[in-house]
Amino acid sequence: MKERVLVKLGGSIITDKSGTCEISHDRLSAIAQAICARNENGLILVHGAGSCGHPEAKRHHLDIGLDQHNKEGIYVTHHAVRTLNDAVVSALRAGGAEAIGIHPLDACVANNGRIISFECGAVELLVQHGIIPVLHGDVGMDRSRGACIISGDQLVRYLPQVMQIDRIGLATDVPGVLDGNMAVVPRIDRASACALNIGTSGNTDVTGGMKGKIEELLALADNGIASHIFHVSRLGDFLAARDHGGTVVCPSDQD
């Protein structure tokens, strides 16, 4: 049986987060080449929104909910992230992989900002047939807030709870989680994370930056699931199950 691998691409590596939906097509092409070279796994891909979604969500205040004055923000934000998703899918297909976009707005329901249901049947079947489902950070409908932001990191936390996933990796623009001396922290668990000073993104980010990532991954670790954070240039190493020089977020009882 093929190994099932979940990879999340940070929005900051596929867009210029200081701009407005400026997609890094050269970086996407390199990422697609790395994925297509190791596409024997059953791969699920998730990507962040970067500058294609965060500014729109912030401008329409969707991070705090939906009211009579910001309904337009659902379309505007979803259109922006869907534009990026189309670019990711196109890069993968140009590299020789079969891939298709899956949009959380269509399939997820949240409550108070957290996913409570996600129809994953199509994702499961796509993987079984060797097609890469490409999910992304998106706006979603929320039972209590009206609408909310469903981050790519929240998807990374949710999917392993409802699907078989063997390995989880987050490709970022840094080599891993860094300590105060800018050295990579090789291992983090719930106890050691308390001693780390982890900041949020310096650009427009309604999902919490690196701090938000760690919170989601520690929740996975609490359920016995490890995950990996590494520089995007080491994506091929992660896919090949080689050392990636980054950080592993582990359950507390795992060596």
State the CATH number of the domain containing residue 121. 3.40.1160.10
Residue 202's pLDDT band (boundaries 50, 70, 90)? very low
Check whether 180 has a pLDDT greater than 50. Answer: yes
What's residue 195's pLDDT? 74
Q: How far is CA 18 from CA 88, 130, 177, 240, in A?
A: 19, 35, 22, 32
Mean pLDDT of 191-204: 63
Top-confidence range, 4-8, 50-54, 179-183: 4-8
Pairing of strands 4-9, 132-136: unpaired
What's residue 207's pLDDT? 45
- For residue 234, tell me if it sits in a domain: yes
Check whether 91 has a pLDDT greater than 80. Answer: yes
- For residue 221, tell me if it sits in a domain: no
DSSP for the chain reads: -PPEEEEEE-HHHHB-TTSSS-B-HHHHHHHHHHHHHTTTSEEEEEE--TTTTHHHHHHTTGGG---TT-THHHHHHHHHHHHHHHHHHHHHHHTT--EEE--HHHHEEEETTEEEEE--HHHHHHHHTT-EEEEE-EEEEETTTEEEEE-HHHHHHHHHHHS--SEEEEEESSSS-B-TTS-B--EE-HHHHTT------SSS-TT-HHHHHHHHHHHHHHTT--EEEEEGGGHHHHHTT---SSEEE--TT--
Total number of domains in the chain:
1
Q: What is the CA radius of gyration of the chain?
A: 17
194: exposed, middle or buried (C-beta count within 10 Å: 0-12, 13-18, 19+)? exposed
- For residue 111, tell me if it sits in a domain: yes
Quick one: what percent of the chain has pLDDT higher than 90? Answer: 75
**Higher local confidence (pLDDT), 2 or 61:** 61
- For residue 166, tell me if it sits in a domain: yes
Q: Which domain holds residue 147?
A: 4-173+226-242
Residue 206's pLDDT band (boundaries 50, 70, 90)? very low
User: Could you give the CA distance from residue 38 to residue 52 in angstroms, rounded to a whole number?
Assistant: 28
Quick one: what percent of the chain has pLDDT higher than 70? Answer: 93
- For residue 212, tell me if it sits in a domain: no
Mean pLDDT of 11-21: 84
- For residue 251, tell me if it sits in a domain: no
- For residue 195, tell me if it sits in a domain: no
> Which residues does 18 contact at the CB level (< 8 Å), separation at least 6?
51, 203
What's residue 204's pLDDT? 42
User: Could you give the CA distance from residue 56 to residue 67 in angstroms, rounded to a whole number?
Assistant: 16
- For residue 93, tell me if it sits in a domain: yes
